[in-house]
Structure 1
Amino acid sequence: MTDTCPVALVTGAAHRLGARTAQTLHARGWNLVIHYRSRQDQAETLAADLNQTRVDSARIVQADLTDTAQVRALADAAISQWGRLDGLVNNASVFYPNPTDEATADDWDRIMHTNLRAPFFLLQACLPALRAGGGSVVNLIDIYSDHPLADHPLYCASKAGLAALTRSWARDLAPAIRVNGVSPGAILWPEAEPGMAGMAPEYQQAILDKTPLARTGTPDDIARTIAFLMCDAPFITGQILPVDGGRSLGI
C-alpha cells in the first residue's frame, strides 16, 4: 500500500539525536520508520507519540546493524511499510575509546560494522526505492573524521570512511539521489559504555574552551540541519555540514 507522505528511515532513532530527527521530520510531514537495536520501549513510545499526532505515521523495526543480513532485512521492512522510501538517515553509531595498543578485533568489527559497513549495505539495499522517489540520504559524520580524537582511532577511521562514502555516493548516485552529511560537534555528551566511565567534566570543559560559541549545541540544531538537507536543499549534494559551534575552525 502506498502513501502520499514521503517516508524516511532513521537508524538509531529510539533516543537522543535519532529521536529528535524523527520528530522533526515528522513535523515536516514525513512518515517515519524508526529503527532500533535494543531500545524497544523507547522506540514504541516515540512511535506512539507520533501516531497520536498523525494516525499511522510512524512504525518501528528492530535490527542489529553489525549483522549484514539484518541490515538488508531492515531495508526490506522499511520499504514495505508504505511501499516507498524517500529518505534515509544513517544516524546509528558506536562510540567508545580503543587505544591502538589495546584495541581488539571485536572492537574493530563492532565499530566498523555499525558505523561504516551498515550504512553502505543499508543504502545499497534501499537503492531501488530511493531512486524511484528521487530520494535524499543524510549520513551522521563527526568533526573527529577530520580532527581525530585521542585514543579513538577506530571511531575516527569509521567516520572518515563514512565521509568518503558520502562524497562518493553523491557523485555515483546523482542525479536521482542526493547524499549529504552532518558533522556534529559538542551536542550531547557521549553516554558511558557498560563498564566504562563517562566523559569527565574537566574534559567536557576543555572541549567547550576550544569551541568559539563556548557552549554545547542542542539536538534541535542537528535535527533541523538534517531536515534542511532533506526538505529544503534540492540543489545540494556531496556536502558535509559541520554543526559544531565553530569548533572545526581548529582554534
Structure 2
Amino acid sequence: MSIFPLSGKAFLVTGGAKRIGAAIVKALHGAGASSILHYRDSAQEATDLALSLCWNRPDSIKLIRADLLDSAALATLVESAAQAFGRLDGLVNNASSFYPTPLGQIDANAWDDLVGSNLKAPLFLSQAAWPHLKESGGAIVNIVDINAERPLAGFSTYCAAKAGLLCLTRALATEMGPQVRVNGVSPGAIEWPSDNLFDAQVKAHMIEATPLKRIGDPTDIARTVLFLLADAPYITGQILAVDGGRSAHL
C-alpha cells in the first residue's frame, strides 16, 4: 500500500469527534484523505480535532452537525458531505448510542434511539450515499459490535440493533455490488466507556474471556477501517472481528 493511498478522496465519518470515530478520522487523514466529520453534541471535540489535522493540511476536514435520529435530515447530510470536497468516496457508519435496557424497563424512546442510531440511520445514510459511491467506486464500512452475535445481558435493544446492522451490511453488499463494497468491523472491548457503565468485576471477566488478555485501542479499529477502504478491493459483505479473539473464545 502506498504512503498516501487515499490522497484526493473524501469520506464521511459519522460520530467522528471522539473515541473510535476520531481515531478513524485521524487514520484516514494520515492516508491522505479528506474527511467530513459528522457530530451531534460534541462540537468542541470536533472543532479541536479538525483544527489539529488542518494545521498540517489546510481545509482537509469539514464539520457537519446533524441529529441522526432526524430521518429527514439524513439525505441532506449526505448531499452536504458530497459537496464539501466535490466527491464522496466512502461512508463510515460509526455513530452509536450505547446503554443498557433491562427487560421490563424498555420503552419506545430507548428503542427509537438505539435502533435509530445503530440501524436506521446507517441504512438511510447508505441509501443516500449510494449514487455518489457508485460514481466514485467507493465503499461503506459499518461499525458493528461483538454483541451483535454474542448478546450482552441487559442490553437487548442495543444488541438487536447491532445484529440488524450486521445483516444490513451483508444485504447492502449484495445489492450495491459491483460498484460499491460494503463491509463491517466488529469491535470487542475497545476503551472502556467513560461513564463507568461496567464495574471492575465485569471488566475483569471481559478481559479474562479475551485470549489476548487486554482491551483494545480505538486505533485497532481505525487501522481495520483504513484497510477495508484503501486496500481491500476484493472484500465485500464481510464482518471483520477486532476483539482480541474474544468472539472465538466465548
TM-score > 0.5 by shorter chain: yes
Partner of 1:35: 38
Contact 2:16 2:38 in 1 (8 A): yes
Give the distance between the partners of 2:56 and 2:221, measured in 1 at CA.
22
Partner of 1:71: 74
Quote how far apart the aligned CAs of 1:82 are.
1.1
Match of 1:84 among 82, 87, 102: 87
Identity among equivalent pairs (%): 48
Q: Matched residue of 1:53: which SS?
A: coil
1:190 paired with 2:193, answer yes
Partner of 2:144: 141
Contact 2:211 2:249 in 1 (8 A): no
Give the distance between the partners of 1:146 and 1:115, measured in 2 at CA.
15
1:169 paired with 2:172, answer yes
Partner of 2:55: 52
Structure 2 counterparts to residues 81-230 of structure 1, below 5 A: 81-192=84-195, 198-230=197-229
Quote how far apart the aligned CAs of 1:83 are.
1.4
Runs of 4+ aligned structure 1 residues displaced above 6 Å come to none
TM-score, structure 1 normalization? 0.95
Q: Matched residue of 2:25: which SS?
A: helix
Contact 1:95 1:190 in 2 (8 A): no
Partner of 1:5: 8
Give the distance between the partners of 2:175 and 2:128, measured in 1 at CA.
15
Quote how far apart the aligned CAs of 1:250 are.
3.1
Quote how far apart the aligned CAs of 1:72 are.
1.8
Quote how far apart the aligned CAs of 1:53 are.
1.3
> What's the CA shift string for 1:74-106, capped at 9, x where partnerless?
111101101110010000001100012101010
Q: Matched residue of 1:8: which SS?
A: strand
Give the distance between the partners of 2:27 and 2:212, measured in 1 at CA.
24
Quote how far apart the aligned CAs of 1:156 are.
0.3
Partner of 1:249: 248
Quote how far apart the aligned CAs of 1:190 are.
2.2
The amino acid that maps onto 2:202 is Y
Quote how far apart the aligned CAs of 1:198 are.
2.4
Contact 1:208 1:214 in 2 (8 A): yes
Q: Matched residue of 2:55: which SS?
A: helix
TM-score, structure 2 normalization? 0.96
Gaps of at least 5 residues in structure 2 are: 1-6
RMSD: 1.0
Gaps of at least 5 residues in structure 1 are: none
Give the distance between the partners of 1:54 and 1:199, measured in 2 at CA.
39
Q: Between Structure 1 and Structure 2, how many residues are aligned?
A: 244
Q: Matched residue of 2:241: which SS?
A: strand
Q: Matched residue of 1:183: which SS?
A: strand
